[in-house]
Every structure is written in structure tokens, then in C-alpha cells.
Amino acid sequence: MKVPKITASEFRKMVEHRRPFVLLDVREPEEYQTCRIPGSRVISLGDVLKHMHEFDPEDTIVVHCRSAARSALAAEWLIKAGFRKVRNLKGGVVAWAEQVGPSMPRH
């Protein structure tokens, strides 16, 4: 399944224009402690299926991890479950740090 992507710069514009979204970080909690995108909700990949019911299928959900591999899988699960406005952050938090937040700590 092809998962729709959003680039770091596109996502930054979404944030700047205050468009409503849920930002889902599927990394492990210790990874989140190292670096994070503000406003992220952390649910590790292994727990996504257990928490899926907590999201509204009408919400725009941007999923990310370190480099976009785990988040692509989580996004696929959400789409298969009926969520229609899911995007995977291309390049993950690494791309965000490089393109948007160069002063933030990195993995």
C-alpha cells in the first residue's frame, strides 16, 4: 500500500497556518526524550493498534518516527482501519531537524 507523505516544509506550513492535526510519534519513549517535534503524542509502534480507537477517523494525522520507516507502517495500519487523512512525515524527525529545527538535538 502506498502511504501518502508530507515533507518537513509542507508540515511546517501546516503548523504555521494552524491547520488542525494530530501528530503521532511512533518511536520508543527514550527516543522521544532525545529529540521531539513539539506537540507530538508518543505511542510506540508496538502499541499503535491498541490505541487506534483514541483517534477520530476524520482527523488529519501526521505520523513520524526517526526516519519514516516505522511511521509508514503505522500510517498503513491507520489507513486500513478507515482513517482517510493520514500522512507519513517524509524523512521523519531527522528531516524535521535538518530542515526546520537545526538547533534541536538529534539521534
pLDDT in tens, 5-28: 999 999 999 999 999 999 999 999
Q: Is residue 45 part of a domain?
A: yes
Q: What does each C-alpha distance from 73 to 13, 86, 89, 104 come to in angstroms?
A: 24, 12, 12, 26
CATH of the domain at 60: 3.40.250.10
Total count of domains within the chain = 1
Residue 83 · residue 58 · CB < 8 Å: no
Question: What's the pLDDT band for 65 if we cut at 50, 70, 90?
Answer: very high
DSSP 30-51: HHHHH---TT-EE--GGGHHHH
Is the pTM for the entire model greater than 0.95? no
Tell whether 105 is covered by a domain.
no
Mean pLDDT over 81-94 rounds to 96
pLDDT band at 107 (very low <50, low <70, confident <90, very high): low
Helix or strand run (H / E) with residue 63? strand 61-64
Nearest to 90 by CA among 105, 106, 75: 75
Question: Closest by alpha carbon to 41, among 58, 27, 57?
Answer: 27
Q: Give the pLDDT band of residue 42 (cuts 50, 70, 90).
A: very high
Residue 19 lies in a domain: yes
Q: Residue 90 pLDDT > 70, yes or no? A: yes
Mean pLDDT of all residues in the chain?
A: 92
Domain that holds residue 63: 5-99
Helices within 1-107 (DSSP H only):
8-16, 29-34, 48-51, 69-80, 92-99
